[in-house]
Amino acid sequence: MASKRSVVMLKPALKPTAPRCLRANCSSMSASRPLSTVRSTRPFPAGTILRTNIRYSSSSTNTENLGRTPLYDLHAKYGAKFVPFGGYNMPVQYSDLSIGESHHWTREKASLFDVGHMVQHEFSGPGAEAFLSQITPTSFKSLKPHSSTLSALLHRETGGIVDDTVIMRLTDDMFYVVTNAGCREKDLAYFTSELKSWKDSGKPEVKWDVLEGKGLIALQGPSSATILSGVLDSDSASKLDSLYFGQSMYGKIKLNNGSLSPSLLISRGGYTGEDGFEISIPASATTAVTSTLLDSAKETLRFAGLGARDTLRLEAGMCLYGHDLDDTTTPVEGALSWIIGKDRRVEGGFHGSSVILQQLKKKSEGGGVSRRRVGLIIEGAPAREGAEIVDESGEKIGRITSGCPSPTLKKNIAMGYIQDGMHKSGTEVQVVVRGKKRKATVTKLPFVPSGAVRRPKGVDGI
């Protein structure tokens, strides 16, 4: 059974314990090297080697100190190949599909990802909303119960991103927050410090619970809704049609043994650009729920690992923390200005707001930034993290932060930071790959259209 550990007064343990959800890896914990190499099963052109660029959380081969999610044994049963990631032993791929095949399977059918390595939190109490409003730029006035949003934890003075996060309002004074596994120690220290300052200032009480041991899985792909609806109990299934992207509900699944699962927190969204759901599960039921889903749709649902997750998220234009985002990058530089609520742009009051709000202003008003995150399509060999972006004269104007061959587009895609003014879609630049300049074109993100099921105008949903 998962434990709820109240840590308002006590500093939480910073080392992950077994057992222990896009999404990402802190740069301080990563070693940049290709995760694996597989031959694409589709013409890319023919003979292209598809390399994923997931970063290991440690270059050490010693796995004794790595955490395990509640699904570790089930992964092993399905032929998982494990790698260290974010302090955990995580599956990179499975014996039934290559990474390229798994990528296409997700785009065409549905895949199940274990994201239980990520850190799940609850913040509650009379001061919870005000506290989260201080450390993020989120507009909580527009965040209704069972609605969620991408956000960012911010440094006090600089507005740099401590970590990207998803925040969901469960009730008026309770919030569910998911942070990155690779940033676990940094984030827990950040929350501990910020809550201490909050309490020392005499502000309203905030209770913080780290939901240790809970499972978290991501069901992703165009068949996801059909698969999930097929295993939900009748009451839960009736609500699914009115659940839209960014919304959540509680529901129960009819398990293989005929019983009902405990109540599950089901949110519509994910880290692949496809329609899908993330499901938070009590530790005791994680394996049973996951097995039920897999057994219910053997022709359309497969396990998928970190390899496919990385290529899918890059096609969707989604950031990997520690690479596409870091402590020195603000939301404006990171092309995440949309996470800054309209009311927050007027009122400010969040960490780094003096810096961020100035960056949002026009250049004529002293605003703007010197660099911006962009997408790029590159000719020839794929560009990897660290490759320089140069102009026609050869002058460096930016740097690649993520890159891979796109299995869907059959083109080499990348994200990176480029000098302001060169960031507009269609701008032609060059990327230095293995000492050779390759033609590249700045491209709008995402590379692949989103399959998210969004709420129609005038419809409330759940």
- Decide the pairing of beta strands 174-179 and 161-171: antiparallel
Taking the C-alpha atoms of residue 149 and residue 458, their distance in angstroms, rounded to an integer, is 19
How many whole angstroms separate alpha carbon 217 and alpha carbon 286? 9
The verdict on whether residue 278 carries a ligand-binding annotation is yes
Residues 6+ apart with CB under 8 A from 328: 158, 160
Task: For residue 342, report the phi and psi dihedrals to the nearest 5 degrees.
Answer: -60, -45
Q: How many CA atoms lie within 13 A of 213 on its CB side?
A: 9
Residue 338: what residue type? Answer: W
Q: Strand, coil or helix: what is 77?
A: helix
Overall residue count recorded for the chain in this entry: 462
Instruction: Calculate ∠ Cα 66-70-72, nearest 5°.
Output: 60
Give me the phi and psi of 111, to 5 degrees please.
-130, 155
Three-state secondary structure call for residue 230: helix
Helix-, strand-, coil-residue percentages of the chain, each rounded to 5: 25, 30, 45
The annotation places the binding site for substrate at 278
Q: Which residues are annotated as part of the binding site?
A: 278
